[in-house]
Amino acid sequence: MKSGKILVAQGGGPTAVINQSLVGVALEARRFGEVQRIYGARHGVRGIVNEDFVDLTQETSHNLELVAGTPASALGSTRDKPDLKYCQEIFKVLQAHEIEHFFYIGGNDSSDTVRIVSEEAHKANYPLRSIHIPKTIDNDLVGNDHTPGFPSAARFVAQAFAGANLDNAALPGVYVGVVMGRHAGFLTAASALGKKFPDDGPHLIYLPERTFVLDKFLADVKAVYERYGRCVIAVSEGIHDESGAPIAAQLARDLEHDAHGNVQLSGSGGLADLLCEEIKTKLKIKRVRGDTFGYVQRSFIGCVSDVDQREAREVGEKAVQYAMWGGRDGSVAIKRTGFYSVDYELVPLESVAGKTRTMEDDFISASGTDVTDAFRLYLRPLLGSGMPDAYRLRTNPVAKVLNRG
């Protein structure tokens, strides 16, 4: 006899719209009479192995809608990266609770977890439908035009650099803003959408898709500073030398490492400070300031793309439809069909799991320090409606009397 139970969980870094996908699953599942219980696992896969579930069936539709519009992961998340043994424990719990449909909202690692759990279910001949729902601000899932969470984070980055540029124009100097993105530079590249006038910053953009050379960087900064009297720079946390070693690790030895042994690139402030010090020391520029956007760009409550919200909801809804009406497991993918429209497709888990998308070459300028119009056309509709704009006073100088200054 069928149990009618489904389980949904959220994994990896939170985003501004991940709860839209969660609520998309919960509300869409209610439309199917065979669904009796909708469980949510607290803190992702860790909550599954600990049997830490909540019954979302008892949530009101009104409260679910309020949660949908709230950033970050309402169920809680985890940074656990399950191996085969871990996934086997997940499967044991799913069996024990008679879960028939498993939905996991997350990025690369989460898709791999769904793949392994799906394989375990097939080996055991257990009737489990496993669907991965895309989410990542890095925009690095293959098979997708873009990934829910990225547009809202990109909107934040574009607006933040627009503001930094205005500040830098008022008090000229050099500004370095470090943005998330270990291997993919999409989020850092979004800084270019904050530009309006030809001399606006960011004047230089450094991405992990291109090799970073410190001497070339300093020469670039010097040239821009001499031309405009100021320089705004967007830098990806993942910039590296030709050997692949992080620049942050080269400029400083005492850096934190994360649970996977990687250099802690986000939230430390290290790279921005180190690059600022290089500029001050080598170029003798006095006013040099830097920021690390860190975690604030992931779930910023006042800067959410309405396009991102809609699509994050729809990938949750489509996941349920694919699970109920389809005959296979998979990952929901967003496909662009026009300017601007999208459709959805269920792609094989193995085509997404464990793979990383990086920025396409035609999105990066020949200089390697800017983006192309192709990228601007790609990103602009994703940022959503109501993007703020900036204006300038027209230059109408008054003749000097004392000829001072």
Active site residue 199: no
Residue 246 CB neighbours (<10 A): 20
- Partners of residue 292 on adjacent β-strands: 178
Region at 44 (left for phi over 0; alpha for psi -120 to 50; beta for the rest): left
B/e letters for 174-197, b = 16+ CB within 10 Å, e = fewer, are bbbbbbbbbbbbbbbbbbbbbbee
Name every residue whose Cβ is closer than 8 Å to that of residue 102 and which is 6 or more positions away in sequence: 6, 7, 94, 114, 117, 128, 129, 130, 131
Strands 37-41 and 53-55: antiparallel
Say how far apart CA 211 and CA 228 lie, in whole Å. Answer: 26
Q: By three-state DSSP, how is residue 231 classified? A: strand
- DSSP string covering 7-40, please? EEEE-SS--SSHHHHHHHHHHHHTT-TT--EEEE
Active-site hit among 80, 138, 140, 329: 138
CB crowding 331-360: b at 16 or more within 10 Å, else e: bbbbeeeeeeebebebbebeebbeeebbbe
CA–CA separation, 121 vs 37, rounded Å? 20
**Active-site positions?**
138
